[in-house]
Each structure stands twice: as structure tokens, then as C-alpha cells.
Chain A
Amino acid sequence: MTVAVEKPEQPQKPEQPRKTDSAPPAVAPAARVRRIGRGTVVAAILIAWLVLFAVLRGKQTLTLAAADLTDLHRWINDLNDSIGANRNSNPLFLYFFNEIRLVIDTLVTFVQELISQPSADRPLPQIGWLGVVGIAGYVSWAVGNWRVALLAVAGFTFFGLQGLWQESMDTLALTVSAVFVALLFAIPLGVWAGLSTRFNRVVTPFLDFMQTMPTFVYLAPLTLFFLIGGASATIATVIYAAPPAIRITAHAIRSVPETTVEAADSLGATRWQALLKVLLPMSKRTVVMGVNQSIMAALAMVTIAALIDAPGLGHTVLQALQSLDVGTAFNAGLAIVVMAIVLDRVTTAAAARQETGRLSNGRFAGLRRPLLAAGGVVTAVLVYMSHTYVWAAEFPGEGGVGSSVAKAADTTTTWVQDSLSGLTNAFRDALTNGLLNPFQSLLTDSPWWLVAAVLIGIGTVVGGWRAGVTAAVCVGLLLGTGLWSDSMTTLASTLVATVLVMLLGMAVGVWMGRSALADRVLRPTLDAAQVMPPFVYLVPFLALFGATRFTAIVAAIVYAAPVAIKIIADGVRAVPAATVEAATSAGCNTWQIITKVQLPMSRSALTLATNQGLIYVLSMVVVGGLVGAGALGYDVVAGFSQGQLYGKGLAAGLAIVLLGVMFDRITQAAARRVSA
């Protein structure tokens, strides 16, 4: 549930290819020879690895037992302790962290008292359900259109019917505060990154770090700095939700056509004028998409933030998990999904309006203003009533829908568990013994220097010398974390999961790309799979596959496959219809069209899907640690739970980041080469 990477950077970004691929795209035959050459080299490396593995197996593997620590880990522990001991006397705390905390706490409390928590002298929040539903509908209509307004009203009412009104409002309050704070920083930083290539280059690694570092790792330190409760939860969410907004804002600014900027320059506009009058208005639509991604990322943090006492739906999910109550957890998870879908569609509609709004004709605009005013009055009345009357403040009814949802989920899970577990166990054993175990022992039982050499070598061959250097640095730092063996174990399951994600992605992606109907039916399911907190489906998966590495792999696939599927579907659809028709008239059958035309032509989408699939899989490593995957995920969870393992947990978090950065750079470089 960690990384909710935004629309990945386009492979054909202007400045990058110029540098990495200085060689102009050679004439076709030459390029072909080179590509074959690359494949051969990779094969040679792999064969050499296997041979050396056979000889050197089990030597210099750098294993570390679950409770063992290195000096680095101990040093981090001591640092952590001394911060904790001095937090009441240190001026940095008194005048810096405490102030930040105070401001954010005030903001969160304000929003909570508005919609979710009883405020000082009232047993209920200031605005009750009727008011919130009214505002949601009105705002959605004002920024989007009446269709999303209807969706918003239906969605919000559904929370009440589920019996989760207050929990949903707590989650909403936290999301709103976090996104607000995130945008406060993200938009200026994004604009800066969009204007300055150098700043962009400086900030990118930090953004990578913020998105890939498992949340578990910084939850404990956050409570150390900002205490337990709303403020810490909000800050944890901000850390995770800001990067997509920064990246997308930067991207928006950068993609304003150069001619427009030049035109403004030639008219004598100053830099500020150009920014305020040209760049920002023209990139508004994309910036709204950034807001959208920020919201999605914030919602992904809901369950995790509940671990440091953030109230809301995440809390319900976690508590239900303690007694393995799948139904209740699913009900709360469903509320998160509904909220995500409502907020996603509303912001998407808002982005679309940015584009069409200016174009609409005068008659429409004339009508709109009185309508908005009238809607505003109605909303104000609703808010007033929900403030005053109990029936409009407290959602009526017992939340019967919620208990039927829970019951249905329970029944389904039990049925699936009972009828499929024999089948799933066989499948698990086949895959674990046939693929995962051999691959893992190849990675963990080879001497470390051999694996390191192979990683750097493949990185260089596939991604070019820059990617090779990145790989070398990452491998060096991985060794430094003292968790080499665990990293390799994690790497093995991550790669196996990615392969499965890609197989699934290709099958479903091609289907969706070729059939609009399939697309329309499957897309909401994919959205739901991405937003549903993984904690909800852990229990059924545990029943199906036991506490094993394979369970973690399946959980990762559920989370990562939707991204890969969507990217591949878009890639396949982008293949020009004329080309497909030409192939059809040349007598190709469907299978040939897919394999000879559509897949090869969407090759850059495939590499992009691999990149995103890998990073999404990696972000599930910690969740995997909760269901028996061990290795880095377990280290991170252990560090969060046990003081003396804190440093090790942090190091494990770093190792996950390093793996992520290494793969991201290699696959991106490879993607650029493919599309060049």
C-alpha cells in the first residue's frame, strides 16, 4: 500500500534521452545487431553466474539471524534513544518540532470538530451528516458536473448506511487536512522543479525516497518528534502524499508549449507575469490531477496511520483484523474504496472542467451563476439544519447495509476458503518449489560479490553505463545496511511476483485493450483492488495459502497487477487502428495480430508496466512481512515493534528503498532505449 506512484514519467521526456543515448538511432539493421548483442551478453552473464554458483555455493553469503544486529543498527538505536530522552529540553524540539505539531494539530482538530468529532460544548460535530452530504454534492457539482455530484451524494450516504458515518468523516478529515498541508508545500516546490531542471534533479531522489520508504519505518520516529495522534498521522500522510503532487505539478509546468512562453516573453512579460498569467493557468488541469493523486496516496495511508492512533476507517480495519473478522474489515475497506472512487471521479471531473469551462458559451455561463447561488443557499440551509437538529446531525438507522455487507463478505470468504484451499495449496507448492526456492537459493547462497557483479553487469548491459553506476552505488549501500542476505531473499520474491504481474498484465491488458466492453467492466474492479487496504484481504489469503512467502506474493500481485494491466491496455489501444486493419487484411489471425503487431508495437508500454509493477510489488514487501514472507518486510515490522530492533528496521527500510531505486533506474533506462 505504500507507493502510489503517479502517472510515470513519460519515456519520451525531452531532456533525458539526449544525454543517455547520444548515439543517434542507428539505421535499423545496426540497431538490430546491437540488441541481439545485448541479449547474448545477458545470457552469458547468467550462465557464468550459474557455473560459479555451482562451485561457490554457500560461501560468503553474509547471513544475519533474526535477532542479530550490526554496529550500524546499534548506532541508530542509540540515536533514537537519546532523541527520546532529550525531547523536553532540546531547543530544536521546543521551538521547531513542537511548533509544527501545534499548527498541524490545530488544523486537524478544527476539521475534525467541523465534521467528525464532538466539539467543546456539543455532543456532536458542528456539521452533521445532512450538511456534509449537501456540501459534498454542491462542491462536486460546482467544480465538476451534476453526474459526479450525484455520485458524491450517493457515496456519502452509503457511508451512513454502512454504519460507518463517523469513522468515514474522521478519515475524510484526516485526508483533507493532509492533502491541504501537502499541497501547501507541493505546488510551490512543483512549480520550482518545473522551472528549474537543476532543482528537479536535486529533488527527484528525495521524492523517490519519500515514496519508497516503507511507512512503518518512519511511524515510530514520527511519534517521537510529533507525539501520538492526529498531528503525527497527518504528517506521516503528508510525507507520502506530497511527492505525486510535486512531480505532476513540475510535469505540468514543463509541458506548457515553449512557443506560448516565448510569445509571453516577446510581449515583455516578466518572469512572475509569465508564471502567473501563462504557465499556471495553462497547467491548471494537470495540477488538479496532482491533487487527485495526492488524495489517493493519502487514502492509502489510512490503515497504516491507524497504528499510531489515527481515528477512522483504518482503525476499524485493524481492530477487525485482531479477531480475524473479515466481514467487518471488508465493510470498512469498502468505505475506503467508495471514498477513493468518489474523490477520484470528482477531481477528475474538476480537471476536465478546467479544460472545457472556458470554452462554454455565454448562455450557459449566464445560467450557471444563479444556479450556483441557489445551490449555495440550499447547502447553507442543510448545513444549518445539520448543526441544529439531531435527526440531521446523527445519521439515522443502525447501518443495516454494513452488517449485510459484512455477512456477505464472511460467507463468501468461508466458501472460497473451504472449497479452494486444496487447489491453492497445490498451486502454491508447485510455484514455490519449482520457481521461488531455486531462484532464492541462487540469490542468497551465491557469494555476495558474485551477485553484486551480476546485478551491476545486467544493469549496465540493459540500462547503459549510467544505470550500471546507479546499480553499483545501490549494491554498495545495500552491503552497508548489513542486510544483504535478507535483501536477496526479498529480491527473489519480488522478481517472481513481478513476473507473475507481467503475465497477468499482458493477458488482461491485451484483452482490455482490444475490447471496450471488457475495459468498462474491469476498470472499477482494478480501481478497487488498488485502493482496498491490503490488511482486509490478508486473512482470506492466509487461509488459502498459509503463512508463506507465496501469500505475500499473491497480495503483491493484487496490488500491482492493476497498474500493469492499465498501462498495457492503454498501450495496446494506442496501436493505430490502420495498422491492425492492414494486418487483418493481410490474413493474420487474432493470435498473430496480438503477438506480431499489438504487443511489439506497445513495447514501451510493456517496459513501463514492468517498471511500475516492480515498484508496486516492492511497496508491498512490508505487508508481506506480516504474512510470512520474512526477510526485509519482517525486519521492518520488527523494528516498528521492538526497541532493540529499531535500527535494524530502519536499515531494512533503506534496503527496500535501494532495491527500488536500482530497479527503477535500470528499467527506466531500458525503457528509454527501447523507445528510442
Chain B
Amino acid sequence: MATRIRQWRAGVAGLAVLGLALTACGGAKVGDESSGSDSSGDSGKCGTFNLAVNPWVGYEANAAVVAYVAENDLGCKVTKKDLKEEIAWQGFGTGEVDAVIENWGHDDLKKKYITDQKTAVEAGATGNEGLIGWYVPPWLAKEHPDITDWNNLDKYADEFKTSESGGKGQLLDGDPSFVTNDEALVKNLKLDFKVVYAGSETALIQAFRDAEKNKKWVIGYFYEPQWFMAEVPLVKVKLPEYKAGCDADAEKVACDYPVYKLDKIVSTKFAESGSPAYDLVKNFTWTNDDQNTVAKYIAVDKMTPEAAAKKWVEANRAKVDAWIK
């Protein structure tokens, strides 16, 4: 009995194997044709290019375009690494990160890694101008035009009260990695507001989206370039004008944020490697509009970063050629 069952089982197994083998006969074999990836022949001169991708869509837009050009025009093998700023900079020293392609200020990191450890060097501006400040949703700016001047903010403090702000108006701040002087600003401008930390960019965007949709009173920290501006064009509130040095003492800041020239940082090793990818990073510049376009493709139109980059590069061939000439 047992032997018969065994034979039967073996027979079934054999048939199954045969059947599967037969169906497989016509299939293409792995490695037959290079499926999309470029041939290993011309990646020799560029090699691997390790590009850090910091977690916001604008950065991702930069990275997508640079990676696309590096791969398709220079034949590099691009490895994107998703990292927060602090950790990305750490990677310069260990050779795991070659470039950070949109840096917002971060003087502390520059001091630590460029001046002290000498593992990184600057690679010039991206052409983007970073604006930081206080923003209100468009409906609010329209209904109360005077709200865009900080002098009038106290008048509306009551409207901005929330369950979190302890009886004062709420000024919503975002992700802890953002540059912010807001607590000092509120104190030194003697505003009847309290800074409440939303804790993430996601929370901030959701708050503004909700505010515009449901006509809620929200004022908070925000910045450009940002894809969300394409969806809800927030209005910047005027703070006392920025003058060089007015933010020297973090405790006594009472002026607006400076305009940040966003720049690129690369590892010292990469800068000296002679890789064409380094020249690309060094030459890469574009405008806020360019970035917002690509960021919108990614965030709003839900294209993959590669597809978004392709679309933009094909429409702006002249700019791209200038980077790799």
C-alpha cells in the first residue's frame, strides 16, 4: 500500500516537473538581453556615484534630475541613498556619500565636516533661493490683507488660538531639522503667540492644506521652493527686514530670515576623483521654477522620480547640455 502511494506521488511530482519545464521552454532567459539597464561597457569612466537623497520632495527633484543626467549622459552607475542631512554628512568621511545636492545653511555641519574634519568641500550654489518665513493660507491673506504685516498679527492672535497654544495665538513650526528662530522672534517682537512644534513637514503641509480647504486660521513656518506651493500658494508674512548680522545672536533675533543660497556639498575624495559626475554636480544650477516643476511631477502628478526627471530633461535640453559640456 505504502509503496503504491509512494509511486503515485512520485508520478505526480514527475508530471508536474515535466509540465513546468515544458511551459518554460519558450521563455526568455535571464541575462539574454540587457533589460533596460545600460551595458557595463561605458560605466568604466564614471564609476559609481553615491548621491544622498534628503527627505523632502524638492531635494528629490534635484537628485532625480542629476541622477538621470549622470546615468544617461555620463554612463555613471548612480546609487541613491535616502538619508537625513546629519547622517548624509557623516557619510562623506566614510566614502558612502559623494554628494549632497541641496543644502540649506547648516553652518554647524559645515564647520564640523568642512573646516574641522576636512572630509567635505563646497561645490557651489544650486541656483535655488531658499525663503524661510511665516506663511498664511491664501484665503486668509485675501480676507484680511493686513495680516501679512507682522505689526498686525497681535490683533488676530485670538483667532489663532488652539488647544495647544495655552491661550495665545499658535505659530506652527515644523520638522526639527529645519532652521528656525521662531521662538526668539516671538519673544523679541513681543507677540502674543506661542510656538507649537508640529514635528514634521507632513504635519505642517496637512495643517495648511486643511486650513485652506476649510477656511481655518493657521499661521506657520514654511519655505520655498516647495511643491506644495503649486497646490496652495501660501502667502508670506512680512517680518522686520533682514540686515546682514541681525541674526548673529540667536537669542536676540528680531528680523526676518535671510534668503538662503542653496548649495551643494561633496566629499573631498569625490572632488578629487576626476569623475565626470563631480563636474556635473559642480555645474548643476537651475531656478526655483525648474525645481517646483519637477517636484510637482513627483508629488502631485505621482510620477516616479526617473520619469519626472526624463520629462523635464527632454524639455530643457539646453540647460542640461550646459552642465555637461
Contact = CB atoms under 8 A, between A and B. Distances in A.
Interface of A: 65-67, 81, 84-85, 87-88, 121-124, 128, 219-220, 223-224, 227-229, 306-309, 315, 318-319, 321-325, 328, 363, 366-367, 370-371, 374-375, 377-378, 381-382, 385, 387-394, 421, 428-429, 432-433, 437, 538-539, 542-543, 546-550, 624-630, 633-634, 637-638, 640-646
B143 interface: no
B34 A641 contact: no
B189 interface: no
B207 to A, nearest CB: 5
A643 B203 contact: no
Nearest to B16: A378
Contacts of B234: none
B162 interface: yes
Given A308-B83, A539-B206, 17 more contacts: A85-B116, A88-B93, A123-B35, A228-B97, A309-B83, A374-B10, A378-B20, A390-B27, A547-B199, A548-B162, A627-B199, A628-B198, A628-B199, A630-B199, A634-B176, A641-B84, A641-B177
A374 B93 contact: no
A374 B183 contact: no
B210 A546 contact: yes
Contact of B163 (A308, A437, A543): A437
Contact of B57 (A322, A366, A388, A542): A322
A225 to B, nearest CB: 11
A67 B183 contact: yes
Given A381-B17, A429-B163, A637 B82 contact: no
Nearest to B164: A548
Contact of A385 (B10, B24, B60, B81): B24
Interface in B173-226: 175-177, 183, 195-207, 209-210, 214
B108 interface: yes
A547 B163 contact: no
B129 interface: no
B322 interface: no
Contacts of A67: 183, 250
- Chain A interface mostly helix, strand, loop or mixed? helix
Interface stretch (B1-9, B254-262, B265-273, B275-283): B1-9
Contacts of B201: 322
- For chain B, give the interface size range: 35 or more
A539 B16 CA distance: 48
A273 to B, nearest CB: 35
B202 A370 contact: no
Query: Across chains A and B, which 6 residue pairs bring their CB atoms closest together, nearest first?
Result: A641-B177, A638-B176, A323-B299, A374-B13, A547-B198, A389-B27
A547 B204 contact: yes
Contacts of B204: 547
A549 B84 CA distance: 25
Contacts of A381: 16-17, 20-21
A379 to B, nearest CB: 10
A381 B82 CA distance: 37
A433 B163 contact: yes
B85 A641 contact: yes
Given A123-B35, A224-B90, A370-B6, A543 B108 contact: no
A642 B20 contact: no
B311 interface: no
Contact of B176 (A325, A377, A642): A642
B96 A228 contact: yes
7 contacts: A228-B90, A228-B97, A391-B24, A548-B163, A628-B198, A642-B108, A643-B86
Contact of B108 (A66, A309, A644): A644
A229 B32 contact: no
B96 A366 contact: no
Contacts of B176: 634, 637-638, 641-642, 645
Given A322-B57, A324-B205, A637 B214 contact: no
A634 B177 CA distance: 11
B109 interface: yes
Contact of A374 (B12, B60, B81, B108): B12
B99 to A, nearest CB: 14
A380 B172 CA distance: 58
A277 B246 CA distance: 76
B9 A374 contact: yes
A634 B2 CA distance: 67
Contacts of A538: 200, 202-203
Contacts of A81: 112
B5 A367 contact: yes
A638 B84 CA distance: 11
A83 to B, nearest CB: 11
B118 to A, nearest CB: 10
Contacts of A642: 86, 108, 176-177
A637 B199 contact: yes
Contacts of B96: 227-229
Given A378-B13, A643-B112, A228 B24 contact: no
B125 interface: no
B56 interface: yes
Contact of A547 (B91, B112, B172, B195): B172
Contacts of A323: 57, 227, 298-300, 302
B16 A626 contact: no
Contacts of B117: 84-85
A371 B28 CA distance: 31
B30 A124 contact: yes
B202 A321 contact: yes
A596 to B, nearest CB: 39
